[in-house]
Amino acid sequence: TFDVSVLDVGGGTVEVRSTGGDSQLGGDDLDASLCKLLWPKYVSRGLGTGALTQAAQAVKVALSDADEVDVAAAVEKALGPGAPAPAMARLHRADAEVAWEPCFRRMAKPLELACAQAHIDLEKARRAQEESKKRRRNQESLPPVDEVILVGGATKAPSVRAFVAASMGVSPRSTVNPDEAVALGCAVHAAYLSAGDDEVEDDAVVAVEHWQGALLRALARDL
């Protein structure tokens, strides 16, 4: 799923200003787009769907660390010898981004809607980002969004991070591991439910009482 939450954090409190998303959009859609790009004949016939998805995931992961990928090598590493031959030997990240463009367009609408519900002017945020690039930093150019935190393995893709940065006017934080964010949040909530220590320690200390109200309101909103 693709989920968006807008939070107002400050003064020891957390307020959920809006939530949104697309329950039918996620990393699997990026994989499916790569399958159509790399194995169009197999996809059109409905052949080897599971294996091709696994291979596409391997290519997607490889593209997170390189601008160009040897598709055959990535597929063989994922599936072993005898894997279906791809339609192209090498894949540039730019070509993958073209294939993912429909997914990005679907991401844009719920993102903009959640921000609109929170009274955030994304156009102003994008203008502020452009001004900061030109080193015209002043109080008026500060974006209405201070930080963006991404959660989930698919958000490791540079293309996804770039899309979010361009949409929000703020580059996502790189200090929060997308694979661990949910687990850390669960640890915070578990500490609250256990009525034990009110702090969870990892790389930082999080006071549970600062977050429990926002967490419960977010859960109620999504149920």
Q: Tell me: the pLDDT tens digits for 20-78? A: 999 999 999 999 999 999 999 888 776 667 888 998 999 999 999 999 999 988 888 88
At residue 203 the predicted structure's pLDDT band, cuts being 50, 70 and 90, is: very low
- Percent of the chain clearing pLDDT 90 (strictly above): 35
CB 83 within 8 A of CB 66: no
CB 16 within 8 A of CB 5: yes
Of 44 and 220, more confident: 44
At residue 211 the predicted structure's pLDDT band, cuts being 50, 70 and 90, is: very low
Cα gap 114→123, rounded to integer Å: 14
Query: What's the confidence (pLDDT) of residue 209?
Result: 44
Cα within 13 Å of Cα(121), Cβ side = 8
The structure tokens listed for 191 are 């500490």
Closest CA to 218 of 12, 19, 2, 9: 19
pTM to 2 decimal places:
0.74
Judged against a pLDDT cut of 70, whether residue 85 lies above it is answered with yes
**Mean pLDDT of the 158-180 span:** 87
Q: What is the mean pLDDT of the chain?
A: 80
For the purposes of burial, counting CB atoms within 10 Å of the CB of 189, is it exposed (0-12), middle (13-18) or buried (19 or more)?
Answer: middle
The structure tokens listed for 131 are 């001004």
Cα gap 120→145, rounded to integer Å: 8
Q: Which domains does the chain have, with CATH numbers?
A: 2-26+100-222 (3.30.420.40), 27-98 (3.90.640)
